[in-house]
Amino acid sequence: MLRSLLFAAASAVVLAACSSTPSPTPVPGAISPPEAAVVKSSFDRAMGTVEELVRAGNTPIAIERLMQLAGDTSITEEERAKTLVLLGDYSLATGGYNAEGAVGYYQEVLADHASSKAAADAAKKLPVAQTKVAEYLATLGSANLTRTQEFNALFGLGRHQAAIDVMTAYDLMPDNEALLAMYQIGYLCEDTNLTGRAYDVTDRDGTVRKVRFCDLGK
């Protein structure tokens, strides 16, 4: 009995000593262990790139990056659905010029990813895109349609080559936004070796570029 009491007392003393032992004081100049690096997924990296492109006003290039991401087999269904919704959003946004494409992206989410969280967002945005397409089609069906209106409607729908055919056939001068989009998409190039009509395009940073239609046969 006495031995048990002595053992219990000794244990209490040891526990008290442990609890009162202060934490080791950091040694000045000592190197702290490195924190574990945060590894971003391919989806997060791509989204970061897309956000930077959109902030810089390079919406067509952001759309191209999202299209690549949508075909990435390593992303989840939810991530793919979110990517498709963003493709629709940016296709309707300033510089996107692809209203029919936006309708297709939202419809794809509803058809192929109906159980995703992004589906509700797509369902809400689809009617807006469909209305925009209907407005462009109504313009094209107008009896008093001008060539500039025809170009703008075709380009806004996403029928870029048809719009360019009208532009070149009637020697039209689109506004800077459309010309900049054509430059970013890759229809117009800044190359002194190119021939044909030159167009002055002011980039987002204020840089004025003299561009011509690219030689796509190269």
| Same domain membership, residue 161 and residue 126 | no
Residues 87 and 169 in one domain: no
- In this structure, the answer to whether residues 77 and 134 fall within a common structural domain is yes
Domain extent at residue 94: 42-139
> What pLDDT does residue 29 have?
55
Q: Are residues 132 and 50 in the same domain?
A: yes
Mean pLDDT of the chain: 87
Among 95, 113, 139, the domain-final residue is 139
Q: What is the distance between the alpha carbons of residues 69 and 85, in angstroms, rounded to a whole number?
A: 12
Domain tally for the chain?
2
Q: What is the pLDDT of residues 143-179, one digit of tens each?
A: 999 999 999 999 999 999 999 999 999 999 999 999 9
User: Residue 109: pLDDT above 80?
Assistant: yes
**Domain final position from 139, 158, 173:** 139
Domain boundary among 106, 123, 139: 139
Predicted local confidence at residue 27, as pLDDT: 57
Per-position DSSP letters for 197-212, written without gaps between them: --EEEE-TTS-EEEEE
User: Kind of pairing, strands 199-202 and 208-213?
Assistant: antiparallel
Please, which residues bridge with residue 213 across strands? 188
Same domain for 131 and 54, yes or no, is yes
Reported pTM: 0.79
Q: What is the pLDDT of residue 87?
A: 97
Same domain assignment for residues 70 and 150? no
The pLDDT of residue 217: 61
Backbone angles phi and psi of 28, in degrees to 5: -55, 135
* Residue-wise pLDDT tens digits, 6-32: 344 444 444 444 445 455 555 555 565
**1 has a pLDDT exceeding 50:** no
Question: What tokens were used for 57?
Answer: 């006003």
The C-alpha angle with vertex 171 and arms to 169 and 176, in degrees rounded to 5, equals: 125
Asked if 70 and 90 count as a contact pair (C-beta separation under 8 A), the reply is: no
CATH number of the domain within which 135 lies = 1.25.40.10
